[in-house]
C-alpha cells in the first residue's frame, strides 16, 4: 500500500507524466459509499478543464443491474449488483483501444436501462464508483485512485443524501458488501494514489 494522502496538484502531475503513453487516459476513482468519490471526480475534472484537457466522467452507478438480474445474483458474488462486465466491454475496452464508448444508463427511479450515452476517447476519462477497481478491471486503468473516509462520516453522508429510510440498506446491505469487496479484492492495495475524502474538497497543494 502507498502511504499518505495525495493532492489535486499531484494527481494532475501524474496524469501529465502519463500523457505520452496513450491518447485517452483511463482513471479509476474507487472507494466505499459516501467516501467522496463523486466530489473528487468533479474537482479533478474541473481542474483539468482549466488546463485545457477534455475530460469525461463515467459513473459506475449507471451500470447497476436491473432488479430481476440482482435477484438472480448469488450472494457470494462480490459486487454482483453492478454489471462490471458491461462496464468493461462497453466502456473500458473500447476507450483503451481508442474508440468511443456507448452504453445505456441505469435509471434508479424506474429500474430500466434508459438512454444510450456516448463517451469519446477524450484526453482523460474518469471512471467513478465503488467496485471500479475490482481485480478483473485494474489492468485497464492508467491511474488508480482510492478515496478513504471514516465509516461514521460515510454513513452520515449516505443518510443525508438518501434519507433516513435508506439507513437499513446502508447498514445491512451496501456497507457489508463493500467491506467484503475491500477484504477480498484489496482495491486499496492496488491503488496508485490515495485521497482523503473526509474533507469536502481536494486541496490543490500538497498536504502537510
pLDDT digits (tens, 9 = 90+) for 150-182: 999 999 999 999 999 999 999 999 999 999 999
List 104's β-bridge partners, or say none. Answer: 116
In this prediction the pTM is 0.92
pLDDT in the model for residue 208 = 38
pLDDT of residue 201 exceeding 70 = no
Give the pLDDT band of residue 199 (cuts 50, 70, 90): confident
Integer Cα distance of 129 and 134 in angstroms: 11
Does residue 205 lie within any of the structural domains?
Answer: no
Buried (b) or exposed (e) across 154-163, using 16+ Cβ within 10 A?
bbebbbeeee
Does residue 206 lie within any of the structural domains?
Answer: no
Does residue 204 lie within any of the structural domains?
Answer: no
Total domain count for the chain? Answer: 1
Half-sphere exposure of 116 (CA within 13 A, CB side): 5
Domain harbouring 63, CATH code? 3.40.50.300
Does residue 14 lie within any of the structural domains?
Answer: no
pLDDT of residue 1 exceeding 50 = no
Structural domain boundaries, residue 168: 23-196
Q: Which three cell numbers stand for residue 65?
A: 443491474
Does residue 8 lie within any of the structural domains?
Answer: no
Amino acid at each position: 500500500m502507498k502511504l499518505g494522502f495525495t493532492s489535486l496538484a499531484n494527481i494532475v502531475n501524474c496524469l501529465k507524466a502519463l500523457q505520452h503513453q496513450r491518447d485517452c487516459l483511463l482513471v479509476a476513482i474507487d472507494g466505499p459509499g459516501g467516501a467522496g468519490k463523486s466530489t473528487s471526480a468533479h474537482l479533478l475534472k474541473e481542474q483539468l478543464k482549466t488546463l485545457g484537457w477534455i475530460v469525461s466522467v463515467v459513473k459506475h452507478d449507471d451500470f447497476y443491474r436491473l432488479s430481476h438480474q440482482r435477484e438472480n445474483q448469488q450472494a457470494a458474488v462480490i459486487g454482483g449488483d453492478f454489471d462490471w462486465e458491461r462496464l468493461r466491454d462497453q466502456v473500458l475496452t473500447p476507450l483503451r483501444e481508442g474508440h468511443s464508448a456507448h452504453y445505456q444508463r441505469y435509471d434508479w427511479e424506474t429500474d430500466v436501462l434508459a438512454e444510450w450515452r456516448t463517451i469519446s476517447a477524450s484526453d482523460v476519462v474518469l471512471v467513478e464508483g465503488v467496485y471500479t477497481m475490482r481485480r478483473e478491471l485494474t489492468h485497464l486503468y492508467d491511474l488508480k485512485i482510492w478515496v478513504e473516509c471514516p465509516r461514521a462520516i460515510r454513513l452520515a453522508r449516505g443518510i443525508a443524501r438518501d434519507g433516513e429510510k435508506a439507513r437499513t440498506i446502508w447498514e445491512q446491505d451496501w456497507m457489508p458488501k463493500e467491506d467484503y469487496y475491500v477484504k477480498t479484492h484489496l482495491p486499496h492495495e492496488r491503488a496508485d494514489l490515495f485521497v482523503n475524502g473526509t474533507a469536502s474538497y481536494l486541496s490543490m497543494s500538497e498536504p502537510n
